[in-house]
């Protein structure tokens, strides 16, 4: 739907590395589809919220209809927008546009959006009204405060609410409620607040209560004093952007340090919000003390998001200076914090970037990317953004988008590589290998293809696509082709999918390939959970398929655990095969593998056989089958037929 609405969409199915992938994508809107899995969706939102906020993006959260209470949780987790089921395609497109406008306002440094982001961070503004107690309106503390009441005054008599809404607002509210009673779903209305700001309410049912989520639309307040983060008194994200843009405009591109506290959400969860807030304030003071400087060297110190801070170094400044400061900041934050009776230990990571780029948004994103790198790569605490890091990413991103299309348009092709019996030189089978004929880049090998799929989370989809296509193609073969064994590759991610074995067996059965189909999987894919892998392989085998272990002799290679797995074939990795013509020691390793495989009653296929000499030595060690350029590279089905005619 997003694509049809003109967006370039990048999918992410796993939560790992979400933050860096979001940053690398340069996306301005994140959509989290939590319609089926709320808890996971919230976890994803939490993981992204700081990066989304620090980079002035928007986060649209999709919730199921009966989870209206989830909306509050989503805002709490960092969502800036939401859409509840059921919704039409047009509404989704509209929600994306709203989200984009929010991001644009932030990028333009618009005060209103910055204010909004802060509200979202602290707490959702929500009211509740129960038809059973019609005279009372309950407010969330944030809404009470924003409406000018004490935070703890959360119950209002209805007539006070009426005054707050104004006459027009009250009418709109009653209409919205009437619409809600008739149509369900979410019913919005807007009005002018007492201070003249425009405010939207999104009204919905929740367990017999009518609930409104309040969203200030454009907070063009009269007094627009220096933007401050209310919790710490530092500059906020808007102020940071403005500071950076000011320097860039003077031709004095600054260096930016972004500092993130690791796992700060744990502190809030463990000690409660007030303790968390107190610690954030202490962190701010420590950063300020070290970083702020004076006079012309006065630096920017800002709080960008919940647990992210920025320090901007004006010119003249060097990366070395920034790195030194970053090291000091990390050390300062590593000292314990005391809040009330709690002692809390924190770690900080730092990303650094210099403004080679064009605007504040880009500088922030680069520094955030470096921070994401520092977070992922223990033990690095400080990372500097490197140019080129991103241009490569842009190319990768292009590939990921193209792959999506290629899958839709069925443009991934399959080539077949013969598997040959050593003794008779007869072709007994083929391995299906994927190829992508890219409209611009030409034919791409499987490595590039699968790397792009992995990055963009299409791995399972691609893998399935290729398997289905290969099996279908082989089912239609006749003549000599019809006698061949067919091997397809599966990944660790494939076998982790529920129902993988059933699906594979059903496909094989439908294609009439049950007794000719082999599934190849690499050992690293099996190592992670040997027990369930063994079960799965057993299921495939009892269904009549064969199982081969691929790339054997690389990675973890443990001869012992092979015994625990129900296998038919071992495929000796190309590197090992090619070693056989090397030293005597190399040969002993290959011999050991072949001996052991045979003692377990397994067939052995040597991969990557390129020369007669290799073949000869392998044959002497008792290897029964081979694959490799010596016979043929992977080829299309026509060429395969020619090869068969020649070999028979």
Smaller CB separation from ligand C2E, 594 or 605: 605
Bridge partners, 318 (sequence order): none
Per partner kind, with CB cut-offs from 5 to 8 A, the member of Ca ion, ligand C2E, none near residue 466 is ligand C2E
Per partner kind, with CB cut-offs from 5 to 8 A, the member of Ca ion, ligand C2E, none near residue 570 is none
520 scored as a contact of Ca ion (CB under 5 A): yes
Binding site for ligand C2E (CB under 6 A): 417, 432-434, 445-447, 450, 463, 466, 489-491, 520, 550-551, 574, 607-610, 627-629, 634
Per partner kind, with CB cut-offs from 5 to 8 A, the member of ligand C2E, Ca ion, none near residue 312 is none
CA neighbours within 13 Å on the CB side: how many for 21? Answer: 19
Q: Which of 603, 605, 621 lies closest to 613 in space, CA to CA?
A: 621
CB 418 within 8 A of CB 432: no
For 570, the token pair is 């071992």
Per partner kind, with CB cut-offs from 5 to 8 A, the member of ligand C2E, Ca ion, none near residue 608 is ligand C2E
CB 319 within 8 A of CB 225: no
Smaller CB separation from ligand C2E, 60 or 519: 519
Smaller CB separation from ligand C2E, 445 or 555: 445
d(CA 47, CA 41): 10
d(CA 349, CA 277): 19
494 scored as a contact of Ca ion (CB under 5 A): no
Smaller CB separation from ligand C2E, 386 or 528: 528
Smaller CB separation from Ca ion, 32 or 430: 430
Smaller CB separation from ligand C2E, 400 or 607: 607
Pairs from 130-134 (Cβ < 8 Å, separation ≥ 24) = 130/208, 130/209, 130/210, 131/208, 131/210, 132/208, 134/158
CB of 630 to ligand C2E, least distance (A): 7
* Segment lying near Ca ion (by CB under 5 A), choices 70-78, 250-258, 315-323, 487-495: 487-495
411: Cβ contacts below 8 Å, ≥ 6 apart? 405, 436, 437
CB of 475 to Ca ion, least distance (A): 20
Per partner kind, with CB cut-offs from 5 to 8 A, the member of ligand C2E, Ca ion, none near residue 523 is none
Smaller CB separation from ligand C2E, 306 or 628: 628
CB of 579 to ligand C2E, least distance (A): 13
CB 613 within 8 A of CB 581: yes
Per partner kind, with CB cut-offs from 5 to 8 A, the member of ligand C2E, Ca ion, none near residue 433 is ligand C2E
582: Cβ contacts below 8 Å, ≥ 6 apart? none
Per partner kind, with CB cut-offs from 5 to 8 A, the member of ligand C2E, Ca ion, none near residue 320 is none
Per partner kind, with CB cut-offs from 5 to 8 A, the member of Ca ion, ligand C2E, none near residue 614 is none
Looking at 489, 569, 614, 632, which residue binds Ca ion (CB under 5 A)? 489
Smaller CB separation from ligand C2E, 25 or 467: 467
CB of 493 to Ca ion, least distance (A): 15
DSSP-based three-state secondary structure for 213: strand
d(CA 367, CA 641): 55
d(CA 27, CA 43): 19
Chain Cα centroid distance, residue 506: 31
d(CA 436, CA 414): 8
CB of 607 to ligand C2E, least distance (A): 6
* Segment lying near Ca ion (by CB under 5 A), choices 137-145, 486-494, 577-585, 590-598: 486-494
* Segment lying near Ca ion (by CB under 5 A), choices 104-112, 220-228, 469-477, 519-527: 519-527
DSSP-based three-state secondary structure for 592: helix
Smaller CB separation from ligand C2E, 390 or 520: 520
Q: Which of 323, 317, 304 lies closest to 370 in space, CA to CA?
A: 323
CB of 572 to Ca ion, least distance (A): 9
Smaller CB separation from ligand C2E, 373 or 523: 523
d(CA 418, CA 609): 12
Looking at 550, 557, 623, 640, which residue binds Ca ion (CB under 5 A)? 550
CB of 446 to ligand C2E, least distance (A): 3
Per partner kind, with CB cut-offs from 5 to 8 A, the member of Ca ion, ligand C2E, none near residue 490 is ligand C2E
Question: Phi and psi for 447 in degrees, rounded to 5?
Answer: -60, -50
Looking at 215, 235, 373, 551, which residue binds Ca ion (CB under 5 A)? 551
d(CA 292, CA 300): 7
Per partner kind, with CB cut-offs from 5 to 8 A, the member of ligand C2E, Ca ion, none near residue 367 is none
d(CA 474, CA 272): 61
For 457, the token pair is 């989370």
- The strand pair at 442-444 and 485-490 is best described as unpaired
d(CA 128, CA 640): 70
Other beta carbons within 10 angstroms of residue 378's beta carbon come to 8
Smaller CB separation from ligand C2E, 187 or 491: 491
523 scored as a contact of Ca ion (CB under 5 A): no
CB of 407 to Ca ion, least distance (A): 21
CA neighbours within 13 Å on the CB side: how many for 24? Answer: 26
Other beta carbons within 10 angstroms of residue 588's beta carbon come to 11
CA neighbours within 13 Å on the CB side: how many for 218? Answer: 5
Smaller CB separation from ligand C2E, 102 or 464: 464
**Peptide bond preceding 86: is omega within 30 degrees of 0, i.e. cis?**
yes
Smaller CB separation from ligand C2E, 124 or 490: 490
CB of 534 to ligand C2E, least distance (A): 20
Kindly identify the residues of this chain, within the stretch 593-612, that bind Ca ion according to CB under 5 A. Answer: 607
Per partner kind, with CB cut-offs from 5 to 8 A, the member of Ca ion, ligand C2E, none near residue 629 is ligand C2E
CB 369 within 8 A of CB 23: yes
The dihedral over CA atoms of 136, 138, 144, 148, expressed in degrees to the nearest 10, equals -10
DSSP class per residue in 582-640:
S-HHHHHHHHHHHHHHHHTT-EEEE----SHHHHHHHHHHT--EE-STTT--SB-HHHH
* Segment lying near Ca ion (by CB under 5 A), choices 69-77, 109-117, 125-133, 484-492: 484-492
Give residues in contact with Ca ion (CB under 5 A): 489, 520, 550-551, 607
């Amino acid at each position: 739907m997003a694509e049809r609405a003109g967006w370039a969409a990048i999918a992410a199915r796993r939560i790992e590395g979400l933050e860096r992938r979001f940053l690398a994508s340069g996306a301005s809107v994140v959509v989290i589809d939590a319609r089926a899995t709320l808890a996971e969706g919230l976890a994803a939102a939490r993981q992204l919220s700081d990066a989304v906020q620090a980079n002035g993006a928007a986060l649209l959260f999709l919730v199921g209809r009966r989870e209206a209470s989830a909306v509050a949780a989503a805002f709490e987790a960092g969502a800036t927008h939401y859409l509840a089921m059921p919704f039409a395609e047009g509404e989704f497109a509209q929600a994306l546009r709203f989200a984009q406008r929010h991001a644009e306002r932030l990028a333009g440094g618009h005060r209103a959006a910055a204010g909004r982001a802060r509200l979202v961070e602290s707490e959702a503004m929500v009211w509740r009204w129960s038809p059973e107690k019609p005279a009372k309106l309950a407010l969330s503390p944030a809404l009470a405060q924003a409406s000018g009441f004490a935070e703890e005054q959360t119950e209002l008599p209805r007539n006070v609410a009426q005054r707050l809404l104004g006459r027009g607002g009250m009418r709109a509210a009653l209409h919205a409620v009437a619409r809600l009673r008739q149509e369900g779903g979410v019913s919005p209305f807007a009005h002018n607040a007492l201070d003249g700001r425009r405010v939207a309410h999104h009204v919905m049912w929740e367990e017999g209560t009518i609930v409104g989520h309040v969203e200030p639309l454009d907070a063009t307040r009269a007094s627009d004093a220096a933007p401050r983060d209310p919790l710490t008194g530092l500059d906020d994200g808007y102020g940071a952007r403005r500071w950076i843009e000011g320097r860039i405009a003077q031709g004095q591109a600054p260096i930016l340090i972004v500092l993130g506290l690791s796992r700060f959400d744990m502190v809030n969860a463990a000690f409660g919000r007030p303790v968390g807030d107190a610690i954030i304030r202490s962190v701010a003071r420590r950063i300020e003390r070290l970083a702020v400087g004076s006079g012309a060297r006065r630096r920017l110190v800002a709080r960008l998001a919940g647990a992210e801070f920025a320090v901007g170094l004006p010119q003249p400044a060097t990366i070395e200076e920034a790195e030194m400061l970053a090291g000091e900041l990390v050390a300062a934050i590593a000292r314990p914090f005391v809040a009330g009776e709690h002692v809390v230990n924190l770690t900080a990571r730092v990303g650094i970037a210099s403004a080679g780029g064009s605007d504040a948004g880009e500088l922030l994103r680069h520094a955030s990317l470096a921070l994401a790198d520092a977070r992922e790569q223990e033990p690095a605490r400080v990372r500097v953004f490197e140019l080129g890091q991103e241009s490569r990413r842009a190319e990768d991103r292009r590939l990921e988008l193209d792959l999506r299309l290629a899958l839709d348009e069925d443009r991934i092709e399959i080539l077949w590589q013969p598997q040959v019996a050593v003794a008779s030189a007869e072709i007994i089978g083929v391995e299906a290998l994927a190829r992508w004929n890219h409209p611009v880049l030409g034919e791409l090998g499987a490595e590039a293809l699968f790397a792009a799929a992995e990055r963009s989370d299409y791995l399972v989809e691609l893998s399935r696509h290729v398997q289905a296509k290969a099996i279908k193609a082989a089912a239609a073969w006749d003549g000599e082709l019809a006698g061949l064994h067919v091997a397809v590759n599966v990944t660790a991610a494939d076998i982790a999918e529920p129902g993988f074995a059933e699906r594979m067996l059903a496909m094989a059965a439908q294609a009439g390939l049950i007794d000719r189909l082999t599934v190849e999987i690499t050992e690293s894919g099996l190592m992670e959970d040997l027990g369930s892998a063994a079960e799965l392989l057993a299921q495939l085998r009892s269904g009549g398929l064969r199982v081969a272990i691929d790339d054997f002799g690389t990675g973890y290679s443990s001869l012992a655990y092979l015994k625990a797995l129900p296998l038919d074939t071992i495929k000796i990795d190309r590197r090992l095969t090619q070693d056989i013509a090397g030293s005597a020691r190399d040969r002993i390793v290959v011999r050991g593998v072949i001996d052991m495989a045979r003692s377990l009653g397994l067939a052995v296929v040597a991969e990557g056989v390129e020369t007669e000499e290799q073949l000869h030595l392998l044959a002497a060690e008792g290897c029964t089958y081979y694959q490799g350029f010596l016979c043929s590279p992977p080829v299309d089905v026509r060429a395969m037929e020619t090869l068969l005619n020649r070999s028979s």
